[in-house]
Each structure stands twice: as C-alpha cells, then as structure tokens.
Amino acid sequence: MITWKDVINFSVNGNPTPDTRVEKTDTEWQAQLTPEQFRITRQKGTERPHSGALCSTHDAGKYNCVCCNTPLFDSTIKFNSGTGWPSFTQPIKENAIKYEKDTAFGMLRVEVMCNTCDAHLGHVFPDGPEPSGLRYCINSESMQLEKE
C-alpha cells in the first residue's frame, strides 16, 4: 500500500519504472484526443468540479488512461470525496502513477500523471480515508472506464 511518505519519496527521489512507455508528439495526441482531453492531459488543465462524467459513476471496472489505455485505478478503491472530482485511495499498481512536486498557483501539491505516457491526471492529497489516508483527485477527462 502506498502511503503519503511514499508519495513524497517518489516526488523527490524519482518514480518507479513503468512497465512500458508511450511517447507521441503534440500533433499525434491532438489527433487522438478531444480538445478537452488534450487540454487536461497534455497541457495540465483541470475540469470544473462536479462536471466530469466519471464523478458519480460507481460501475465495476478499471479506470484507464485516456491517452494510452494503461490501467490506473480500480473501481473498488473509488470513493465519494465530495470534492467534485473522481477520488481514489490507491493506484492499481505502484508503478502506474508518476508523482511530481507542483508549486503552481502559490500552492505546494503533488501532481499525479500516468507513468506510461506522462498524461496529467490530477493531484494526490494526504486527507483520504484509511487505511492509506490518500485521496487521488483525478480529472474525469483523463480516464476512461473499462467496465467489468
């Protein structure tokens, strides 16, 4: 189980090695993604709270990266955080997520990205439910649900 200490360690000392890498040009990503998906995943944007299609979805399945289809989160660890974005307590695998320190907007946060293709997903915070205490706050536009 990943803890806040692990998150900080990854963001400072380097991330786990992904199983594979996917690299494309901006032109290739733009051809594949909707304008909103491109803005969020490739330009580090965010969607308005409570606007994402996956916010209130609780179907069983895997939440995969919209860019490269890497499994990121499982529906069994999704929870309603009340923040307006889909929230999870753990990634599906330790090396599915990449962590980077984010000091944009005068705040200190930890950005989470797909470790396979570097797609911006959202941020992780240490205010989630036990046992991990983590809240991965993820943009709906950065994921697709593969229902079971």
SS (H, E, C) 6-23: HHHHHHHHCCCCCCCCCC
Annotated catalytic residue: which of 55, 65, 114, 137? 137
What is the pLDDT at residue 103?
A: 77
Query: What values do phi and psi take at 21, rounded to 5?
Result: -125, 145
Instruction: For residue 39, count other CB atoms closer than 10 A to its CB.
Output: 17
pLDDT tens-place values along the chain, 148 residues long: 999 999 999 999 999 999 999 999 999 999 999 999 999 999 999 999 999 999 988 899 999 999 999 999 999 999 999 999 999 999 999 999 999 998 777 778 899 999 999 999 999 999 999 999 999 999 999 999 999 9
Strand 135-138 relative to strand 78-79, pairing:
unpaired
Q: Are 89 and 127 in contact (CB under 8 A)?
A: no
What is the pLDDT at residue 132?
A: 94
E strand or H helix that includes residue 28 = helix 26-32
Enter the tokens of residue 136. 């991965």
> What pTM was estimated for this model as a whole?
0.95
Enter the tokens of residue 137. 């706050």
Concerning whether 137 is annotated as a catalytic residue, the answer is yes
Distance CA 140, CA 145 (A): 9
Instruction: For residue 129, count other CB atoms closer than 10 A to its CB.
Output: 13
